[in-house]
Structure 1
């Protein structure tokens, strides 16, 4: 058994980026060098300038990773979600993305994503309080 200590790093250690650099160096041996992740942020506002929706994600290794898509109930079923998603997908294409991935809880927007051309490729049942989380993907290639 080696003399290795497991510990909680300081904020300075985390912000130094050494761990990420070392991981990238390892990965480069398999997939070649790649750039940093690029943010994809899109928002929607109403006629009064109030925020009514938005999407937050990032492009990394030719994939758009959607972290969050939210549309306020006051404007749901009016195409806002579709427009936000389409705008994010276009920005992602411009950044070199070829595919999209996201996850959604059972009570959120699985059916919406299916209508937008996404497919479910995995699911964890009973993720929280008896509900599943669905993992979805879509190709951005024509």
Structure 2
């Protein structure tokens, strides 16, 4: 390719994202091997069986990323967050991962993750403005 133009999409679509993602995935696979993507979900259910919270993680390249963790306010303080983390970590370890990472905002749960043995490895200040986004990891 000898030339290209740059344009801004006013309303980008999933198809636009996939157009960027597909060649990036191909490049990454050529350089680092198969990413071995696997989703992991550990959920909290109410008495009717509906999902009211839980943990969503994704395995890529022998690491897991905890993308989502939510415990309803009415259940906080009853150790559900710790139990979700431990269950997910057991699954992640059994799948041969070397570690897990996540991010949380300063107004969310940094102390919770530290009590679970996670180590902060980065902070993005003023995200959102006046607060921070913290990045944590745990190596097995």
Q: TM-score, normalised by structure 1?
A: 0.81
Q: Post-superposition shift, 1:27? A: 3.3
Q: Post-superposition shift, 1:28? A: 4.5
- 8 Å CA contact 2:62, 2:99 repeated in 1: yes
Distance 1:125 1:59 in 2: 27
Alpha-carbon spacing, 1:129–1:10, altered in 2? closer, same or farther (3 Å)? closer
Distance 1:104 1:10 in 2: 27
Structure 2 residue aligned with 1:58: 58
Distance 2:120 2:17 in 1: 34
Q: Post-superposition shift, 1:11? A: 5.3
Q: TM-score, normalised by structure 2?
A: 0.82
- Structure 1 segment 126-137 matched on structure 2, within 5 A: 126-137=126-137
Q: Post-superposition shift, 1:19? A: 5.0
Q: Which runs of 5+ in 1 are unaligned?
A: none
- 8 Å CA contact 1:52, 1:75 repeated in 2: no
Aligned residues: 136
Which deviations, in whole Å up to 9, do the C-alpha atoms of 1:55-99 show, x marking residues without a partner? Answer: 111000111101110000111111100011111111112222110
- Of the structure 1 ranges 108-117 and 37-46, higher mean CA displacement relative to structure 2 is found in 37-46
- 8 Å CA contact 2:45, 2:52 repeated in 1: yes
